[in-house]
Amino acid sequence: MNASAIRQTWAFVYRDHQLTKRYWSWVVVFAFYALVNSASVTLIGVAAHDTRLTLTLTIGVLLWTFLSVLFNEIAMSIAYERWEGTLEYTFMAPASRFVHLFGVSLYAMLYSFFRVAVVLAGLFVFIDLSFRGANLFGILIVLLVSSLAFMGLGLIAATLPVFSPERGAEATNILQGVLLLVSGIYYPVSVLPKWIQPVSWLSPATYALSACRKLMGIETFVPGQPLHGAPLLAVMPDLLRLLIMGIVLIPVGLWIFGRVEHWAKKTGKLKRTG
């Protein structure tokens, strides 16, 4: 990536940051809702007086907060542009679509880390949590690697608002809901009906969650004892699957986005506002 592409990428990151600042009240509302929802789920483990369950739910809500925000920000980027009335200008800008989408994805990842930090800080207010002994560095690596796969999924989902300004945004929420259902965020995948369990193998969140639970030390947790997080080497199979998914999904997402963009320009769909 040359200096010009880096400046253009930063321009898209800066633009999205300014949009977030413009709608700061919505940021506060969504962050508050994410915190309350996460605390409500995690307190189920506290009510059951089960520390292992509490840790399982905690890592689930934190991982899903990160991945869902990342996916949603990328998937909804086209819808946001349409609402702002800048979609045509962005598509006509002298910047490659790769640079445009990379800038959007980079900002989405940074914003996801911010949202996780807010939720985590809030959980400490409601729940007595201790991550002593967990492999936090390994969990950070898992988040970064899993980001690639969710970026690819987000790029694919971002085409939906192009197809339908009226229903595209809602369709991205359906896809996000399916990922939440099949990935075992709050429960083992084994409790799902047999016919839907194979779908979980296609979700990056399944492998990210499996790796994070091992690195957290949940599987070997003994009540009253500190956590013993697994070394990063122990989750290499999950990391490899996530990396392969990212390597496949990002080019596929870019290709699909390019084809849909070409179709939208040819048929005049970019101008549609509702």
- pTM across the whole model: 0.87
pLDDT tier at 274 (50, 70, 90 boundaries)? very low
Structural domain spans, the chain: 3-269
pLDDT of residue 89: 75
* pLDDT single digits (tens) 222-239: 887 888 899 999 999 999
pLDDT of residue 222: 82
pLDDT tier at 107 (50, 70, 90 boundaries)? very high
pLDDT of residue 45: 92
Amino acid (1-letter code) at residue 12:
F
* Residue 111: closest CA among 3, 40, 185, 12: 12
Average pLDDT, the chain: 87
